[in-house]
Amino acid sequence: MREADGPVRVTAAADQAAVRGAHLGLVLRHLRDHGPRTRARLAAELGLSKATATSLVVELEQRGLVRRGAPARGSVGRPGATVELDGPRVCGIGAEINVDHVATSAVDLAGAVVVEDRRGLDSRRLGPDGVLDELTGMLRHVLDEVAAQDTIPAGITVGVAGLVDTTHDVITVAPNLGWRELPAAARLRDRLGVDAPTIRLDNEATLAAVAEADSADPERRDMLVIYGEVGVGGGIVSDGRPLRGRHGWAAEFGHILVDPQGRPCGCGRRGCWETVIGLHALLDAATDPDDRLRDPSLTLEERLEGIVSRAGLGDTRTLTALETVGTGIGAGAATLVNVLDPEVLVLSGYFAPLEPFLRESVEKRLDADVVAPRLGGTHVAFSTLGPVAAVRGGAAVSLAPVLTDPTLVPRRAGAETGGSR
Amino acid sequence: MREADGPVRVTAAADQAAVRGAHLGLVLRHLRDHGPRTRARLAAELGLSKATATSLVVELEQRGLVRRGAPARGSVGRPGATVELDGPRVCGIGAEINVDHVATSAVDLAGAVVVEDRRGLDSRRLGPDGVLDELTGMLRHVLDEVAAQDTIPAGITVGVAGLVDTTHDVITVAPNLGWRELPAAARLRDRLGVDAPTIRLDNEATLAAVAEADSADPERRDMLVIYGEVGVGGGIVSDGRPLRGRHGWAAEFGHILVDPQGRPCGCGRRGCWETVIGLHALLDAATDPDDRLRDPSLTLEERLEGIVSRAGLGDTRTLTALETVGTGIGAGAATLVNVLDPEVLVLSGYFAPLEPFLRESVEKRLDADVVAPRLGGTHVAFSTLGPVAAVRGGAAVSLAPVLTDPTLVPRRAGAETGGSR
C-alpha cells in the first residue's frame, strides 16, 4: 500500500529515531513510486537538504534497500549517479486459503515475483488441519526459495475467505469453508517453527483490494473492489489506506440487503446481494441443471470460458443472464457508491473476464441509482490481476512495515555505521 | 527540539519547522483530551525530554493557547504547576443551512460555546440569496461577539443539507433546498468582506458526525452517524478521521436501496431508505392526514413531543409505527455495518428523542441482519447533542488546523520569541 507523500507525521512516540525511520521510508516509497533518480532530485522533490538526502541514501544502501543505478540523462553539468531500489534484499509473502484452492506468493521490494504457487483442493473435505498442512508445505518451499536467494522475508500474510479477527489473527467465521473460531496463524506458526517470519491473517478480498490499490495511480487512493466468486466479498481503500473497520470485518459486501423479497442466502437471510450476483446466480440463470457448465469437476476458469464462448456466439439465454447479473451488480454497487463515494469501482474475481458482457448493464444501473450526478464521478474498472490478486495483496501487506520504517531491515554485515553524511 | 546525541544530523529548516509545529499540536491535543497536567507528566506521557516539553509549553503560552493551572495534587516532592488550555484565545465557527432553519455556533479551544444562534425560515421560499443574507447577518453577529472577547476566529465551516463539492466549496445539489451548483462559500465571502476568516462548506450530516466523534473516547474513532430528519443523511468516522469520499459525497445514506418494490422517493427512485425511515414515513404510519401532528406550523420538536407523548400513553398505532421505523433503521443499518464494521452506530436527528421506543426493534433487526456474530461487536447509541450537532461539528472542523499546527495562531504582542527553553 502506498503511503501519502508529504510531511512526515510525528506521533506520540516521536523521537529522533522515529523521525529518521520515517524519513528513510519516505525516500524508499518515493523511489518505488517514481523510479530511479539522483540524490539532488530526491532532495528537491522531498523538501530535504542535500546533506540529509545523502545521509538517508547512504543508510538505505547499508541496509541493502537501494543501490546505484545508471547515470541520469539530460542533467545539467556532470551526470549524477541515480539511486534505485535494490529489490532482492527483502520480500513480502502472501498466502490464500479458499474453498477450492490454496496459494502462495513472494514479491520483492521492487515488485518482482520471487516465487508463486497455487494448488487446487477441497477445503471443506480436508478440514482445517489438512488445509493448514498443505499450506505449510507450500510456505516451507517459499521460505527455502527466498533463503536461497539471500532475501529477507518481512512477514507472511494469509488471506482467508471469511471474517477474520485481525487483532488476534483468528478466523472468526468462514461460512463457505465451514470453519469458525480457528486460530489459523498460531497453527501455522506451530507448524513452521519459531524461525518463521511473523504470520498475520486478513480477509482475502481486502488483500485483493490492496493489490488493486498498490500502484502510484492517485485515482486508486479511493477505491472499492467487488470480488465475485461463489460468495461475494470486497475491499475498501480510503485515502490510500485499506479500511478494515473496527474488528477487521468491513466490506462484507455479499450480505448487504438488495431485495427483502429475494432468494434465500446461504447465510440464512433473504435477498443478500450474493444471491443476485454470486457465481451460482449466473449459472442458475444461464444454464439448465444438467448443463455441462455445472459439472462440479470443472475449474472456475473452464466454466467462465464456456460462458464467454456462448455469450460471444450471441446465445440469448446467456446474454440475458449476464444482463441480469450486471444490473444486479449496478444496483448494489450504487448503494456502496452512495455510502463511500470512491473514485474507482473495480470488479474482480469472476466478473473480470466477463467485462464485455457486464459493463453496459452495470453502468446503466449505477447511473440510475447513484444520487450524485454523473455516477458521482465514480468510474468502473475490471481487474486485470486475475486469481493472484489476494496473494499479491498479502505480499504487499507483509512488506508494508519496511516501507514505513526501513530500519526494520538490518544493515548488511560489514556496512559502516554512524557518522555517514 | 532536542539535538541528537553523537553525529550532528542535518535536517532542512522546513522539516525542523514542520516537526516543531507537529510537536506543538501534539501537546495541545494531549492537554485537550486528557486535561491539565504538569510539564514533567506531559514529557513522560509524550516521550519528550523535559527540556523539549518546557520549550513547547513556553511557545504555546506565548501564542496564548495554554496557561498555568492549579498545582498538581498528590505529586511527590514540591507540587508542580500544571498547564491547561487557554480556551478563549481562539475559536472555530460553525454554521448550518437547512430546509427550515439556519444556525451558527462559535466554540473555543477549551470547548466552551462563545455564542450560538438558530433561526427558523423557509429556505425554498427565500431562495439562495435570501438565505445567505440571513446567514451573513448572523455570522456578522458571531464575528462581532468573538472580536469583543479578543478571540481569534480560526475559520468558518458551513454545513449544508445536500451534496457539497468540498474541493471548490460549492453546493453541487441540495434536493430538499432546491438548489444546485451554488458557490455558497464565495457568496458568503463577498458579503462578509475580505477580513472574514476562511469559509468552507461541508455536508451537515458529516459535520454532525464530527461533533459525535469530537471526544477522546477511543470507541468513537470508528463510528457511523445516521441522521434522520425529513431526509436521511449520515457521516462516517474511520480510524478517527471523517470519511468524506473522493468528492465529498460519501455517507448519502438516505438513498441506499432497501426495497426495490418500495415507495417512490423524492429523488425519483423507488425504495430508498429515506422512504422507510424519514420523518414523513413515521408521520404517515402514525397519523391520519388531518391529525394535528401534521400541522405544518408545528416545529420538529413539537411534533416529536406529540409522538413521544402518545407512545408513552401506549397508543397502539403510534407504537406500531415506531416499531416499523425501528425495524427499517435496523435493516439499512445492517448493510452499513456489513460494509463499514464500526464500533458505534449513533442515531441522531429525530431518532434521538425516540430512543425508548426505537432501540429494541433497531437492535433486533441489526442482530438478525449483520453477518458478523453479535452485531459484529457494533453497539447502538442515540445522540445526546440534539439540534446543535451540525454547527458544533462545523466549529470543530474550523478549529482543527490549529490543533494540528498551533503556529497558525500568532504570538501575543510582547511575547518573547526564540531561544526559549
Q: Domains, chain B, ranges and CATH?
A: 13-85 (1.10.10.10), 90-208+389-405 (3.30.420.40), 219-383 (3.30.420.40)
| Residue B282: per-residue pLDDT | 96
CA distance B61 to chain A (A): 21
Tell the residue number behind the cell numbers 481487474, with chain if given. A383
Cα distance between residue B308 and residue A3, in whole Å: 50
Q: What is the pLDDT of residues B301-336, one digit of tens each?
A: 889 999 999 999 999 999 999 999 999 999 999 999
Question: A371 to chain B: nearest residue by CA?
Answer: B255
- Give B9's contacts in chain A (Cβ within 8 Å): 16, 20, 52, 55
Distances in Å between the alpha carbon of B418 and those of A105, A119, B44, B56, B421?
A: 54, 66, 24, 11, 9
CA–CA distance, B200 with B195 (Å, rounded to integer): 15
Name which of A52, A249, A269 is nearest B369 (Cβ-Cβ): A269
Distance CA B329, CA B349 (A): 13
Lowest-confidence pick of A53-57, A151-155, A372-376, B42-46? A372-376
**Which residues between 99 and 128 in chain A have a beta carbon less than 8 angstroms from any beta carbon of chain B?**
none
The band of B1, judged by pLDDT with boundaries at 50, 70 and 90, is very low
Per-residue pLDDT at A185 = 96
Task: Count chain A–chain B contacts defined by CB atoms under 8 A.
Answer: 184
Q: What is the pLDDT of residue B142?
A: 97
State mean pLDDT over A324-335: 96
E strand spans, B132-216: 152-160, 163-165, 170-174, 179-182, 199-203
Evaluate if residue B7 carries a pLDDT over 90. no
Task: Give the minimum alpha-carbon distance from B259 to chain A in angstroms, rounded to a whole number.
Answer: 5
- pLDDT confidence band for B14 (50 / 70 / 90): low
CA distance B407 to chain A (A): 16
- What are the cell numbers at B349? 436527528
Q: What are B153's strand-pairing partners?
A: B91
Does the structure show a pLDDT above 70 at B78? no
Confidence of residue B299 (pLDDT cuts 50, 70, 90): confident
Shortest alpha-carbon distance between residue B176 and chain A (Å): 13
Would an 8 Å CB–CB cutoff place A14 in contact with chain B? yes
Q: Which backbone phi and psi does B420 adopt, to 5 degrees?
A: -75, 135
* Chain B interface includes A19 (CB < 8 A): yes
Q: Is the pLDDT of residue B417 over 60?
A: no
Q: Which residues of A are less than 8 Å from B45 in CB distance?
A: 12
CB atoms under 10 Å from CB of B236, counted, come to 29
**What would the pLDDT profile of B381-395 be if each residue is shown by its tens digit?**
999 888 888 999 999
Q: Residue A304's pLDDT is what? A: 93
Distance CA(A74)–CA(A80), nearest Å, equals 10
Task: Choose from A194-198, B6-10, B181-185, B205-209 the range with maximum mean pLDDT.
Answer: B181-185
Which residues does B342 contact at the CB level (< 8 Å), separation at least 6?
Answer: A245, A246, B222, B223, B224, B236, B336, B378
Closest CA to A158 of A179, A138, A177, A184: A184
B contacts of A236 (beta carbons < 8 Å): 339
Residue A47 has pLDDT above 90, yes or no: no
Distance CA(A227)–CA(A209), nearest Å, equals: 9
| A385 in contact with B, Cβ within 8 Å | no
Mean pLDDT value of segment B345-354: 94
* Cβ-based neighbour number of residue B182 at 10 Å: 21
Residue A154, SS3 per DSSP: strand
Nearest-angstrom CA–CA distance, B377 and A168: 15
pLDDT digits (tens, 9 = 90+) for B392-413: 999 999 999 999 899 999 999 8
Do the Cβ atoms of B257 and A335 come within 8 Å?
yes
pLDDT at B17 exceeding the cut of 90: no
Average pLDDT over residues A316-342: 96
Helical packing angle, B123-148 and B184-192, nearest 10°: 50
Q: Are B307 and B318 in contact (CB under 8 A)?
A: yes
User: Contact B176/B162 with Cβ under 8 angstroms?
Assistant: yes
Chain B residues within an 8 Å CB radius of A421:
7, 10
In sequence order, the 6+-apart residues with CB closer than 8 A to the CB of B327 are B361, B362, B364, B365
- What integer best gives the mean pLDDT of chain A? 88
Distance between CA atoms of residues B109 and A118, nearest Å: 57
C-alpha to C-alpha distances, A280 to A5, A163, A277, A325, A363, nearest whole angstrom: 43, 21, 8, 11, 22
Give the C-alpha separation, B239 to A248, whole Å.
Answer: 12
ipTM: 0.74
pLDDT at residue A86 is higher than 90: yes
Q: How far does B43 lie from chain A, in Å, by closest CA? A: 10
Q: Whole-angstrom Cα distance, residue B280 to residue B218? A: 35
pLDDT at B11 > cutoff 60: no
pLDDT digits (tens, 9 = 90+) for B104-131: 999 999 999 999 999 988 898 999 999 9
pLDDT greater at residue B341 or residue A15? B341
- Residue entry with cell 479477527: A165
For chain B, the average pLDDT equals 88
Give the confidence band of B92 by pLDDT, cuts at 50, 70, 90: very high
**Residue A323 vs residues A26, A278, A334: alpha-carbon distances, Å:** 46, 14, 16
pLDDT confidence of B201, banded at 50, 70, 90?
very high
Does residue B77 sit at the A interface (CB-CB below 8 Å)? no
Mean pLDDT of B232-250: 85
Show which of residues 159-188 on chain A sit within 8 Å of chain B, judged by CB atoms: 163, 172-173
Q: What residues of chain B lie within 8 A of the CB of A47, using their CB?
A: 12, 14-15
pLDDT score, position B2: 34
Q: Output the nine-digit C-alpha cell for A185.
A: 496463524
pLDDT tens per residue across span A95-139: 999 888 899 999 999 999 999 999 988 898 999 999 999 999 999
Q: Which residue has the cell 475491499?
A: A235
CB contact under 8 A, B246 and A222: yes
How far is A109 from A86, CA to CA, in rounded Å? 7
Report pLDDT for B67: 95
Rounded to whole angstroms, how far apart are CA atoms A205 and A186? Answer: 22
Choose, out of B340, B404, B405, the residue to mutate when testing the contact with A (most A CBs < 10 Å). B340
Query: Greater confidence, B71 or A52?
Result: A52
Residues A362, B48: Cα–Cα separation, whole Å: 54
- Alpha-carbon distance B338 to nearest alpha carbon in chain A (angstroms): 5
Q: Is B328 on the interface with A (CB under 8 A)?
A: no
The answer to whether residue A76 scores a pLDDT higher than 60 is no
Q: In this structure, are residues B72 and B79 in contact, taking their beta carbons and an 8 Å threshold?
A: yes
Q: Find, among B101, B129, B105, the residue nearest to B117 by Cα.
A: B105
**Side-chain half-sphere CA neighbours of A324 within 13 A:** 18
Strand bridging mode A379-382 / B66-71: unpaired
Rounded to a whole number of angstroms, the distance between the first and last alpha carbons of chain B is 9
